């Protein structure tokens, strides 16, 4: 059995390390991440995690783990900003309100797939222009869903969350451990 992380996200690799797991291979999947017309954030996120895990090449006994993190403002999906202008739009949209961060995790072994999604709530303080500009200047928004990362300087802009901190960062650890146990990962079988 090899354990394969199907993700190019350094956050997910770090979070797995927190569980004491080092993947035998890292294989980021290539899939189309565009939402379908009218698709709601939670079903979108679960679909993308499933598509990612189906796209990773693995031997029948290997365990593959993929995840997707989606920032949802009501029915609106905020993806990764293309540039600083879009990141600014996202930050102003999130300013002074609560939004949801969904992370869906999918684990596959052979033909079997186990999946979970975790929905957290995040409140962003009311942001001044100076705060938005200072945050954009950190460049930490790049490659992050919704245009921020709670584990970086944006932590100063987030007074309240409810749910799973590790889920917001990109991999909810309690649920991930449960899925890996279900798939028979030796670390979580309970007899290790």
Catalytic residues: 68
Instruction: Tokens for 97, please give them.
Output: 């309100």
Q: Does position 169 bind ligand TTP by CB under 6 A?
A: yes
Nearest residue to ligand TTP, scored by beta-carbon proximity: 7
Would you count residue 176 as binding ligand TTP (CB under 6 A)? Answer: no
The overall longest dimension of the chain from CA atoms, in Å, is 55
Nearer to ligand TTP, 156 or 189 (CB): 156
Q: Does 164 bind ligand TTP (CB under 6 A)?
A: no
What are 119's strand-pairing partners?
102
Residue 2 vs 189, nearer CB to ligand TTP? 2
Distances (CA, A) of 127 to 92, 161, 174: 7, 17, 32
By CB under 6 A, name the one of 69, 120, 166, 176 that touches ligand TTP: 69
Binders of ligand TTP among residues 1 to 60 (CB under 6 A) are 7-9, 11-12, 28
Neighbours of 161 (CB within 10 A): 16
In whole angstroms, what is the distance from residue 91 CA to residue 99 CA? Answer: 11
Q: What is the DSSP letter of 190?
A: S
* Residue 149 found at the interface with ligand TTP (CB under 6 A): yes
88's tokens: 């600014």
Task: Give the position of tokens 């990962």.
Answer: 185
Closer by beta carbon to ligand TTP, 108 or else 144: 144
Least distance in Å: CB of 23 to ligand TTP? 12
End-to-end CA distance of the chain: 15
Of 14-22, 84-92, 162-170, 183-191, which segment contacts ligand TTP by CB under 6 A? 162-170
Question: 98 phi and psi, to 5 degrees?
Answer: -95, 145
Find the binding residues for ligand TTP in span 70-129 (CB under 6 A): 71, 101
Residues in the site for ligand TTP, rule: CB under 6 A?
Answer: 7-9, 11-12, 28, 67-69, 71, 101, 143-146, 148-151, 168-170
């Amino acid at each position: 059995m090899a354990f394969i992380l199907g993700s190019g996200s350094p956050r997910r690799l770090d979070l797995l390390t927190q569980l004491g797991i080092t993947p035998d291979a890292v294989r980021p999947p290539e899939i189309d991440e565009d939402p379908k017309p009218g698709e709601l954030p939670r079903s979108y996120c679960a679909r993308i995690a499933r598509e990612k895990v189906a796209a990773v090449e693995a031997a029948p006994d290997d365990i593959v783990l993929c995840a997707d993190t989606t920032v949802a403002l009501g029915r609106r999906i905020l993806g990764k900003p293309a540039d600083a202008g879009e990141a600014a739009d996202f930050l102003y949209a999130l300013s002074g309100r609560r939004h949801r961060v969904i992370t869906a995790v999918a684990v596959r072994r052979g033909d079997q797939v186990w999946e979970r999604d975790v929905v957290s709530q995040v409140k962003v303080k009311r942001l001044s222009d100076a705060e938005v500009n200072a945050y954009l200047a950190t460049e930490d928004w790049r490659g992050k869903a919704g245009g921020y990362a709670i584990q970086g300087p944006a932590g100063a802009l987030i007074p309240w969350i409810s749910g799973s901190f590790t889920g917001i960062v990109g991999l909810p650890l309690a649920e991930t451990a449960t899925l890996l146990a279900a798939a028979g990962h030796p670390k979580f079988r309970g007899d290790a």
